[in-house]
Structure 1
Amino acid sequence: MRNVMRIAAAAALAAVVALGCTAHADQTTDKLKATLQARLPELQIKGISKAPIAGLYEVNLGTQLVYTDASGDYVIAGDLVDTKTRSNLSEARLSEINKIDFASLPLERAVKVVKGNGSRRIAVFSDPNCPYCKQLETTLKSVDNVTVYTFLYPVLTPDSMTKSKAIWCSADRAKTWEAWMVDRHPPASAPANCDTSVLQKNLALGQGLNVTGTPTIILSDGRRLPGAVSADELNEALASAH
């Protein structure tokens, strides 16, 4: 019985210590965030946590990580690299931070294209006037057994919104989308009575998910791939996410 009581007491003490450390860490990072935000108001700081190097803190800016000392007197802009493994720790950490819950995506607001058996899934934020998006669509022609959910994300020009409305309001969205992006056949104008409110919702969704460029690919495991990746890169990413 005494041994059981000792174990319980030790566990309770460990929990108290852990809570104390967490509270201390929160106070430190909260103070550090306030200091940096006051000194560098142009930065949009999403969070601060300890870096893998003693005395260094990572500052999450959404699309970039920078590093600072405990007092916030200095900021280091650049990637943190593990020289033993030659791995980019900043890139890996940013990918982890920016993971998206694929199951939470409102896929009914996307243009759905099924290739082969469609067993693998990706979501793409894409602008109809984005040249890299068109490049990705051409690449996707050689990628099989994938379901692509494209969120129309008209951020480049006013005409991007016009074309997005036309594509969304077409009788066959998938066919119209591919006809424009791959074969350059412009879509017919959207009818006046078509509900295109989904596009504003997509813009809000992308902004909330920190989608700052097109195309942005989201894998089924929540990782994102920025830019027009090659077919080999995409297949490799799909294999690791499946």
Structure 2
Amino acid sequence: MPRAISALPRRAALAASAALLAVAGTAAHANEALIRKNLSERLPNLPRIEEVRPTPMRGLFEIRLNGTDILYTDAEGNYLIQGVLIDTKARTNLTEERLDKLTAIAFESLPLKDAFTVVRGNGQRKLAVFADPNCGFCKRFERDLAKLDNVTIHTFLYPVLGKDSEAKSRAIWCARDRAKAWNDWMQRGVTPPEPPADAKCDTAALERNIAFGQKYRITGTPTTILANGTRLPGAVGLDRLEPLLAQAGAGK
């Protein structure tokens, strides 16, 4: 009997907690409905709202549009805010963290048929790089990548810097040895030769790479994806890349 009596307060606390969660869930649902209604009526040209969710800031809600576009609003949809949400205590950019989750790329989902691959040593460490042939940071990054061993590198040609980038990407993709043509240009400045007019080369892969990058908000080059899905923007130095590759290999 004493054990049954002592359990009562805990059961009551659990019941109270469940009741509070239910109330909070109902309130959040009501806020979502009101936000959707008001914004759709007042801003008919606003893209379809795909998700409404509360933020850590009391009374502020996130609305998601077009897959990965984020705006903020109050509990009634009276105001719309475009910008970033910063947690000053933790000193973190909550908007950036949210976008990282929304645009995360599972390594297994990468369309590797649209990349060319280089394997060194045992090839156990894996990474994919989206790069533009006219990107200076990409060239610097390639010099560092050349120093890695026991690695598999999938390079996606990502010509976003203009017509010349498109032309060089086509020439590299149509080369007999894509990796050599890429390295000759990126590391030694040897311009890739134009493919002959009768060359049978399907360059649709370059268009698919652009579409893939736009979908996942790859807005700069180089952008690196590690085996665990970690995304690294910019020319990451070897001092940072090596430990990240080790973590990715460990599944962290």
User: For the superposition of Structure 1 and Structure 2, which TM-score range results when normalised by the shorter chain?
Assistant: 0.7 to 0.9
Q: Which amino acid aligns with 1:219?
A: L
Structure 1 unaligned blocks of 5 or more: 1-9
Alignment of 1:190-209 (within 5 A): 190-192=195-197, 193=199, 194-209=201-216
Whether 2:116 is the aligned partner of 1:111: answer: yes
Q: CA RMSD in A?
A: 3.2
Alignment of 1:80-91 (within 5 A): 80-83=86-89, 85-91=90-96
Q: Which residue of 2 aligns with 1:6?
A: none
Structure 2 unaligned blocks of 5 or more: 1-14
Q: Which residue of 2 aligns with 1:49?
A: 53
Q: Which amino acid aligns with 2:87?
A: V
TM-score scaled to structure 1, two decimals? 0.77
Given that residues 127 and 226 in structure 2 are in contact (C-alpha distance below 8 angstroms), is that contact kept between their aligned partners in structure 1?
yes
TM-score scaled to structure 2, two decimals? 0.75
Given that residues 163 and 187 in structure 1 are in contact (C-alpha distance below 8 angstroms), is that contact kept between their aligned partners in structure 2?
yes
Q: Which residue of 2 aligns with 1:154?
A: 159
Given that residues 32 and 52 in structure 2 are in contact (C-alpha distance below 8 angstroms), is that contact kept between their aligned partners in structure 1?
no
Q: CA deviation at 1:176?
A: 1.3
Q: Tell me, in whole angstroms, the C-alpha distance in 2 between the residues paired with 1:44 and 1:213.
A: 27
Whether 2:73 is the aligned partner of 1:73: answer: no
Q: Tell me, in whole angstroms, the C-alpha distance in 1 between the residues paired with 2:205 and 2:39.
A: 36
How high is the sequence identity, in percent, across the aligned residues?
45
Q: Which residue of 1 aligns with 2:181?
A: 176
Match of 1:178, SS state, is helix
Given that residues 129 and 223 in structure 2 are in contact (C-alpha distance below 8 angstroms), is that contact kept between their aligned partners in structure 1?
yes
Q: Which amino acid aligns with 1:120?
A: R
The one of 130, 133, 145 equivalent to 1:125 is 130
Q: Tell me, in whole angstroms, the C-alpha distance in 2 between the residues paired with 1:36 and 1:143.
A: 55
Change beyond 3 A, Cα 1:102–1:24:
farther
Q: Tell me, in whole angstroms, the C-alpha distance in 2 between the residues paired with 1:115 and 1:36.
A: 58
Q: CA deviation at 1:241?
A: 2.1
Q: CA deviation at 1:117?
A: 2.0
1:7-32 CA distance string (max 9 Å, x none): xxx9xx99xx59x7475465355347
1:37-88 CA distance string (max 9 Å, x none): 658x6x99875422122212235577875543223415262341252x4444
After superposing the two structures, state which structure 1 stretch, 111-120 or 51-60, moved more: 51-60
Q: Tell me, in whole angstroms, the C-alpha distance in 2 between the residues paired with 1:122 and 1:37.
A: 43
Q: Which amino acid aligns with 1:116?
A: G
Aligned length: 225
